Structure 1
Amino acid sequence: MPARTPAVGAVLVALAVIAALPHAPAPAQPAADTFAKFVDDYYAALFAWDPNQATYAGVHDYDAKLTDLSAAAIAARGESVGKFQARLKALRAGKLTADEQIDAEVLDHALRAEELDLGTVRDWKRNPVAYLGKPAEGIDMLMKRSFAPPAERLKSIIGRLKHTPLLIAAMKANVENPPREFTDLGVIVAKGSVGFFKTDLPAWAKTAAAGDAKLLAEFEAANAPVVAAFEAAAKWLEADLLPKSKGTYAIGAKAFLDKLAAEEMLDIPLDKLLAIGEATLKRDREAFAETARKIDPKKTPTEVLALLTEDHPKPDDLVPATRGTIERCRKFLIEKKIVSVPSEVRPTIAETPPFARTGGFASMDTPGAYETRATEAFYYVTPPEKEWTPQQKTEHMRQFNQTGLDILTIHEAYPGHYLQFLNAKQYPTKVRKLYTCGTNVEGWAHYAEQMCVEEGFGDGDPKVRLAQLSEALLRDCRFVVGIKLHTEGWTVEQGKKFFVEQGYIEPEVAFQESRRGTYNPTYLYYTLGKLQIYKFRDDYKKATGAAFTLQKFHDDFVKQGGLPIKLIRKIMLPGDTGPTL
C-alpha cells in the first residue's frame, strides 16, 4: 500500500556529507507532510494492493491487475499498514481542519481494521473464498460497465486473466486447515467461476473483440489456463482440502470486539451487546405475534407467515416480479416526502451472477463515486440453484413472497442502498466518497424498511407489517447468532436451529444464514445500525425542535457518506458526545 520510506540513518549520513562540502548550496528542505497528501498516498497504495477496489471506485489505472496474495505480498502489505499508521499519528498530533479530523479518524480505524484482518483474523490463511472470488469479481466489473470501449476493456480483462493462475496458486500455498464451512463455500465459488470463465466471459469477449482476430486469440490464450486453474481448484478443494478442513471459524471474543471497534467505532462490553440483541429480538417477536393475530387470530404466527410466503413468483419470474416493485417504492418516497430522490435513473434488475452466490438473497451493485461514464447500478436477486431439490427451491423462493419483495426493494433500492448511492458524488471529501461501514450502509437500508412502514407504506395492511417484521427477525437473529458462533462456541447447526425457532426462517435459508455468520462475524450491523439511527433521529429531533422534518433529517444523513454513526452525529449535531446506543 504505502511507499517505503528511506532508512533514516542513510538520510542523515547523506545530509552530513553534503554539509561538509565547503561551497555546497543548502539542501532543499523536504516538503512537510499534509493530510491531503496522506489521503492520496493511502488510496494509491490501497488500489495498488487491491485493484478491484480501484475499478469499483471508478479509478481505472489498475484495471489490468489483480491483487497479489502471496505470503510475501501480504507481509509487505502489513508492513505498509504500520507505516501509514505512524504517519497518520504524526499528522493527527498537528493541526487539522474539522473535515480532516473526521476523515483522519475514519482512516485510523480503517488501518486498525486491516491490521486486525491481516494479523489476527487472517482470512488469507483460512478462507479459500478470499482468493477464489477476486478474479470473476474484478472481470465482471470490467464487462458490465461501459466506461471505455469494449475492446479496451477486453485488454484489461486479459491482464487480469494472466494474474489469475498466480492467485489460485497463492490460495493453495497459503490456506491451511480452514473450517469446513469455508471450504464448502469455496467449492461453490470455484464451480461457479468455471461456468463464468468457460461460457459467459468468452461470449462477451467475442462481441467485444469486434472481429479483431489477434485480440480474440490473445484473450483465448489467457483464458484457457484460468478455466483449467478453476477446474483444478474445485477438484483440489473437494478431494484434498475438504477432508483436512477441521479448523475453527470462531475469531473469539477479543477479536470480535476489536473488529466492531475498528470497523463500526463501537466500544461496548460483549454481555451488554448481546443483551441489546436479545431484547430487540424479543420485542420484534412480540410485535410479529400481535400482527399475525390481526391477520388470522385462529392461526399461529408460523402458520400465518406460511400463508404469506406461499404467494411467491416462480424462479424464472423472479426478475420481472422484482422489477415491478421499483416504481411503487419510489413513488411512496416522493409523495410522502420521506427523502429527496435526486435522479430519474432506475437500477437494472438482474440475477446474481453464479460466481457471486455466497448465501445472500439480494444485493445492490452500484458504481463508485469516481465513475464518470458507466453509471449503471445493478439490483441483483438470487434464484435457487438448479441442482437443488424441489423442497430447497421452494423454501428459497418463499423469501421472495410478493409482500416481502416490496420490503426487499425498500432495502436495496428506494430509499435504501440505491438512493444512498445516488448521493455519492455529493459527498464532501475523498475519504467519504470511498469509505463505507456496515452500520451506516446496512443500518440505513434496514432502518428504511421499518421507517417506511411506520410512515404509511402499505396503507396499514398488517401483511406488509408482518413482512417487515419478518425481515427484522432475520436481522435480529443474525445479531445473536454472530456473537454465539464466534464467542460462545456455537455450531452452524445451533445457529440454524435458532433462526428457525426464533426467526420463523425456512430451514434451508436458516442454514445459509448461519453459515454466513461463520465468515461474516459482525453481521449484526444491520440491526445495530438501525438502532443507532433511530436513537440518532430521536436525539436530532430533540436538538432541532420545531425545525425538525423527517425529510431534512434523511436528506442530511444520506449526504454524509457511509461513515460510522458516531461520526455522522458529530457532523450533524456539532459538539455531540452522546452514546450511539
Structure 2
Amino acid sequence: MIRLRFPGLAGLVLVGLVAAPDARPAAADGPAPGTFAAFADDYYAALFAWDPNQATYAGVHDFDARLADLSAASFARRTADLKKLHQRLKGLRAGSLTDAEAIDAEALEHAIRAELLELETVRDWKRNPVVYLSKPAEGIDLLMKRSFAPPADRLKAVIGRLKAAPPLLAALRANVDNPPKEFTDLGVIVAKGSAQFFRTDLPAWARTAAGADEKLLAEFGAANKPVLEAFEAAAKWLEADVRPKSNGGYAIGADAFVKKLEAEEMLDIPLNKLLAIGEANLKRDRDAFVATAKRIDPKRTPAEVLATLTEDHPKPEDLVGATRGTIERTRKFLIDKAIVTVPSEVRPTIAETPGFMRTGGFASMDTPGAFETKATEAFYYVTPPEPEWEPKRKAEHMRQFNRTGMDIITIHEAFPGHYLQFLYAKQYPTKVRKLYFCGTNAEGWAHYAEQMVVEEGYGAGDPRVRLAQLNEALLRDCRYIVGIKLHTEGWTVEQGKKFFVEQGFIEPEVAFQEARRGTYNPTYLYYTLGKLQIYKLRDDYRKAKWANFRLQTFHDEFVRQGALPIKLIRKIMLPGDTGPTL
C-alpha cells in the first residue's frame, strides 16, 4: 500500500481550513482573483496551513516547524469553512471553465464532500486515537529522511514540531470518547512505536544533524524530553484507562459507506450490486487459484501447495536484503518487455517500517511529493514481526514474504506500481492532479500491475508465480467483501479473519491484521475495485484505438494523469465517452 495523505481519501486523512499565510507553490504573479486557479491555490494553501505534515510531504516547506491543531474548535472551524469553500466552488463550476479545470473542479468538489462526510458523520476524530498519535512522529520523520535542506536547518524545524506535539496529545484526551477496542489497540501500538522513535531514533539523528552546535543539540533535548514522556504516558493511559472502557462501534453503516465511495471514488452503485461484483471476482480468482495449485501438485490440497511456497521465506533480520533483490528483476522486465516507460534511474531505499507506522500493513511506499525540488529519497518499507511475538505468530507473518510472493509485492509497491506511478508526479499536468490522491486509481493501478505483469510473461509461465499473484488477488478480494460486511452487516473482526482464512487461503496472523484494518479503513475494497475499473478502461481504450492500440502507450498515458478517480481518467483518455467505469 501507499501511505495515504491527500484529499480524495478523506477519512484516512483529516484535513481542515484555518486562516493562514499563502502556502501556494506558484509563480510570483498568481492567478487572477475569482478564477478556478485562484480557488485551487487557496484550497491547498489552507490545507497545508491546517496540516503542515501534508505540506512537507508535498515538498512545500513553509510550515515545517508546525503541526496540526486538532482541537475540537479547529475541527468546527474546518466544517464551517469547508461549506463556504463548497459554495464558492459550485459558483465556479456553474460558470465557464476549461476542460482541464472542469475535471479538476469536479475532483475538488468530491474531496470537499468527502471531508465533510468524515468530519460530520464518520467522525474518526472523535473515536480513533491514531488520528492524533501518528502526527508528531510522521511529521518529524518527513524532516529527517529527506535532504531538502541542511541537517541543522531541518533539526530546527524538528524542534518546532516537538514543541507542537504535546497539544496534539492533549487534544486526543479531550476529543476521543469511547473508541472501538480495535482502534485503542492500534493506538497503543502507535504510541509505543512513537515513544521508541523519540527515545532512540530521533536523538541519534539529532546528534548527527547538530554537529558541533551543542546549543542546538541542548535545545533539541529540552524539546524532545516532554514529548517522549507524553507518549509514554499516552501508551499507559490507553492501556490502563481507555482499553477497558473501549466499547464503541467501528461500523460506519450502509448509508455512510455508500456515500463515502461516491465522494472518494466517484462510484455510484447500489450496495447489493457492489457486493455481488466482489463476490463474483472472488469466485473467479479462487477457481483460478485452485486450478493453478492443481497444476503445481495435483496430489495436494490448494492450501498445502501454497504452503510449499510460503515456507520458503527469509529470516526477519534478512527481510530488507531479500526485498532489495527484487527491485532490479521487476524493473528490468518492464523495460525489456516495453510494459511502461520508466522515467528515472533513481531506485527506492528499502527499509523496515518505522514503529509508529505499524498499524497492520506489511509493505508500503513513501515517495517525495510533486513539489519537492531537492530531495529524491523514496522509501519502500517492509514490516518485520515484532520481537515480542511468539514464534508461531512470527512464522505466520513471515510467510507473507515468501520468496516467490516478494516479487509480486515489489511489483505492487515499486515497479510498475506505486513507485513508478509517483515518479511521474512532477509531470502531472495541473496542480490539483499533482496533489490529489484516489484509492481506486493508485491502489487499483498497483493491484492491476500485479496481474498484468504476470499476464505479460513475468515468471516465464511458472505456475508458482501465478499462484503467488492469485494469492495477493484473493487477499484483496477478501478485503472487498470483509469491508462491506464489517461496516454494513454487523460482522466482527473474528468473522472477517475467518473469511480471509477460509476463502483467501490467508495465514491466521495475516488474516487478523487484515480484518482489523477493515475496521478503520472501511473502503479498502478500492484495490480490487480499481483494478476492475482499469481493466475495463483498457478494454474500452483498445476498442477506441483499434489497430493503433499499444499496451505501453496505454500505461504511459494512464500514469501521466495523476491519481484522479477512474471516472475522470476516462474523460481524459476517452474524450466524449459516457460509459460506466465497471
Shorter-chain-normalised TM-score: which range?
over 0.9
Runs of 4+ deviating beyond 6 Å: none
Q: Tell me the residue number matched to 1:142.
A: 143
| Counterpart secondary structure, 2:250 | coil
* Preserved contact between residue 191 and residue 232 of structure 2 (Cα < 8 Å): yes
Instruction: Find the aligned partners of 1:242 and 1:173 in 2 and give their Cα distance.
Output: 16
Amino acid at match of 1:193: S
Give CA-to-partner distance per residue, 1:454-504, whole Å, 9 cap, x none.
000000000000000000000000000000000000000000000000000
Instruction: Find the aligned partners of 2:52 and 2:263 in 1 and give their Cα distance.
Output: 23
Q: Tell me the residue number matched to 1:425.
A: 426
Q: Tell me the residue number matched to 1:308.
A: 309
Q: Tell me the residue number matched to 1:23.
A: none
* Preserved contact between residue 190 and residue 358 of structure 2 (Cα < 8 Å): yes
Aligned pairs for 1:88-99 within 5 A: 88-99=89-100
Q: Tell me the residue number matched to 1:478.
A: 479
Q: Tell me the residue number matched to 2:8.
A: none
Aligned pairs for 1:172-211 within 5 A: 172-211=173-212
Q: Tell me the residue number matched to 1:241.
A: 242
**1:411 equivalent in alignment to 2:412:** yes
* Preserved contact between residue 483 and residue 521 of structure 1 (Cα < 8 Å): yes
Instruction: Find the aligned partners of 2:212 and 2:501 in 1 and give their Cα distance.
Output: 54
Amino acid at match of 1:190: A
Amino acid at match of 1:83: K
Instruction: Find the aligned partners of 2:409 and 2:33 in 1 and give their Cα distance.
Output: 50
Instruction: Find the aligned partners of 1:262 and 1:478 in 2 and give their Cα distance.
Output: 20
Amino acid at match of 1:344: E
Q: Tell me the residue number matched to 2:463.
A: 462
Instruction: Find the aligned partners of 1:4 and 1:225 in 2 and give their Cα distance.
Output: 29
Gapped regions of structure 1 (runs ≥ 5) = 6-30
Q: Tell me the residue number matched to 2:25.
A: none
Distance 1:95 1:286, change over 3 A: same
| Counterpart secondary structure, 1:359 | coil
**1:74 equivalent in alignment to 2:75:** yes
| Counterpart secondary structure, 1:364 | strand
Q: TM (normalized to structure 2)?
A: 0.95
Q: Tell me the residue number matched to 1:231.
A: 232
Amino acid at match of 1:539: D
Instruction: Find the aligned partners of 1:80 and 1:148 in 2 and give their Cα distance.
Output: 33
Amino acid at match of 2:319: L
Distance 1:311 1:32, change over 3 A: closer
Instruction: Find the aligned partners of 1:552 and 1:470 in 2 and give their Cα distance.
Output: 29
| Counterpart secondary structure, 1:456 | coil
Q: Tell me the residue number matched to 1:444.
A: 445
Aligned pairs for 1:307-456 within 5 A: 307-456=308-457
- Deviation of the 1:208 alpha carbon: 0.5
Q: Tell me the residue number matched to 1:165.
A: 166
- Deviation of the 1:4 alpha carbon: 6.8
Give CA-to-partner distance per residue, 1:16-50, whole Å, 9 cap, x none.
xxxxxxxxxxxxxxx75111110100000000111
- Deviation of the 1:2 alpha carbon: 4.9
Amino acid at match of 2:545: T
| Counterpart secondary structure, 1:324 | helix
| Counterpart secondary structure, 2:365 | strand
- Deviation of the 1:213 alpha carbon: 1.2
- Deviation of the 1:149 alpha carbon: 0.4
Larger of the two Rg values belongs to structure: 1
- Deviation of the 1:414 alpha carbon: 0.4
Instruction: Find the aligned partners of 1:194 and 1:405 in 2 and give their Cα distance.
Output: 30
Instruction: Find the aligned partners of 2:348 and 2:227 in 1 and give their Cα distance.
Output: 31
Q: Tell me the residue number matched to 1:47.
A: 48
Amino acid at match of 2:45: A
Instruction: Find the aligned partners of 1:431 and 1:416 in 2 and give their Cα distance.
Output: 21
**1:580 equivalent in alignment to 2:576:** no
Distance 1:364 1:32, change over 3 A: closer
**1:84 equivalent in alignment to 2:74:** no
Instruction: Find the aligned partners of 1:33 and 1:486 in 2 and give their Cα distance.
Output: 41
* Preserved contact between residue 432 and residue 563 of structure 1 (Cα < 8 Å): yes
Give CA-to-partner distance per residue, 1:381-414, whole Å, 9 cap, x none.
0000000000000000000000000000000000
Q: Tell me the residue number matched to 1:26.
A: none
Instruction: Find the aligned partners of 2:33 and 2:140 in 1 and give their Cα distance.
Output: 39
Instruction: Find the aligned partners of 1:144 and 1:83 in 2 and give their Cα distance.
Output: 37
Give CA-to-partner distance per residue, 1:283-342, whole Å, 9 cap, x none.
100000000000000000000001110000000110110010111001100111100011
* Preserved contact between residue 437 and residue 564 of structure 1 (Cα < 8 Å): yes
Instruction: Find the aligned partners of 1:71 and 1:425 in 2 and give their Cα distance.
Output: 36
- Deviation of the 1:202 alpha carbon: 0.5
Instruction: Find the aligned partners of 1:48 and 1:262 in 2 and give their Cα distance.
Output: 24
Q: Tell me the residue number matched to 2:13.
A: none
* Preserved contact between residue 17 and residue 50 of structure 2 (Cα < 8 Å): no
Q: TM (normalized to structure 1)?
A: 0.95
| Counterpart secondary structure, 2:62 | helix
Instruction: Find the aligned partners of 1:76 and 1:506 in 2 and give their Cα distance.
Output: 45
| Counterpart secondary structure, 1:61 | coil
* Preserved contact between residue 4 and residue 80 of structure 1 (Cα < 8 Å): no
* Preserved contact between residue 17 and residue 77 of structure 2 (Cα < 8 Å): no
Amino acid at match of 1:454: E
* Preserved contact between residue 443 and residue 530 of structure 1 (Cα < 8 Å): yes
User: Over aligned residue pairs, what C-alpha RMSD do you find?
Assistant: 0.9
* Preserved contact between residue 103 and residue 568 of structure 2 (Cα < 8 Å): yes
Q: Tell me the residue number matched to 1:28.
A: none
Instruction: Find the aligned partners of 2:119 and 2:365 in 1 and give their Cα distance.
Output: 27
Amino acid at match of 1:154: L
Amino acid at match of 2:351: A
Instruction: Find the aligned partners of 1:314 and 1:329 in 2 and give their Cα distance.
Output: 22
Instruction: Find the aligned partners of 2:48 and 2:231 in 1 and give their Cα distance.
Output: 25
Give CA-to-partner distance per residue, 1:246-295, whole Å, 9 cap, x none.
00000000100110001000000000000000000011000000000000
* Preserved contact between residue 133 and residue 187 of structure 2 (Cα < 8 Å): yes
- Deviation of the 1:360 alpha carbon: 0.4
Give CA-to-partner distance per residue, 1:184-242, whole Å, 9 cap, x none.
00001001111000111011001111111111111111100000100110010011111
| Counterpart secondary structure, 2:400 | helix
- Deviation of the 1:3 alpha carbon: 6.4
Instruction: Find the aligned partners of 2:332 and 2:156 in 1 and give their Cα distance.
Output: 42
**1:546 equivalent in alignment to 2:520:** no
**Structure possessing the higher relative contact order (Cα contacts under 8 Å, 6 or more residues apart):** 2
Q: Tell me the residue number matched to 2:270.
A: 269
Q: Tell me the residue number matched to 2:115.
A: 114
- Deviation of the 1:180 alpha carbon: 0.3
Give CA-to-partner distance per residue, 1:507-544, whole Å, 9 cap, x none.
01100000000000000000000000000000000011
- Deviation of the 1:80 alpha carbon: 1.1
Instruction: Find the aligned partners of 2:258 and 2:376 in 1 and give their Cα distance.
Output: 37
Instruction: Find the aligned partners of 1:198 and 1:346 in 2 and give their Cα distance.
Output: 30
Give CA-to-partner distance per residue, 1:143-185, whole Å, 9 cap, x none.
0000000010011111110010100000000000000000000
Distance 1:4 1:46, change over 3 A: closer
Instruction: Find the aligned partners of 2:401 and 2:63 in 1 and give their Cα distance.
Output: 38
Q: Tell me the residue number matched to 1:15.
A: none
* Preserved contact between residue 364 and residue 413 of structure 2 (Cα < 8 Å): yes
* Preserved contact between residue 2 and residue 84 of structure 1 (Cα < 8 Å): no
Amino acid at match of 1:249: Y
Q: Tell me the residue number matched to 1:522.
A: 523
Q: Tell me the residue number matched to 1:487.
A: 488
Instruction: Find the aligned partners of 1:527 and 1:405 in 2 and give their Cα distance.
Output: 19
* Preserved contact between residue 17 and residue 49 of structure 2 (Cα < 8 Å): no
Q: Tell me the residue number matched to 2:26.
A: none
| Counterpart secondary structure, 2:345 | coil
**1:566 equivalent in alignment to 2:556:** no
Instruction: Find the aligned partners of 2:99 and 2:81 in 1 and give their Cα distance.
Output: 27
| Counterpart secondary structure, 1:340 | coil
Instruction: Find the aligned partners of 2:258 and 2:350 in 1 and give their Cα distance.
Output: 37
| Counterpart secondary structure, 1:325 | helix
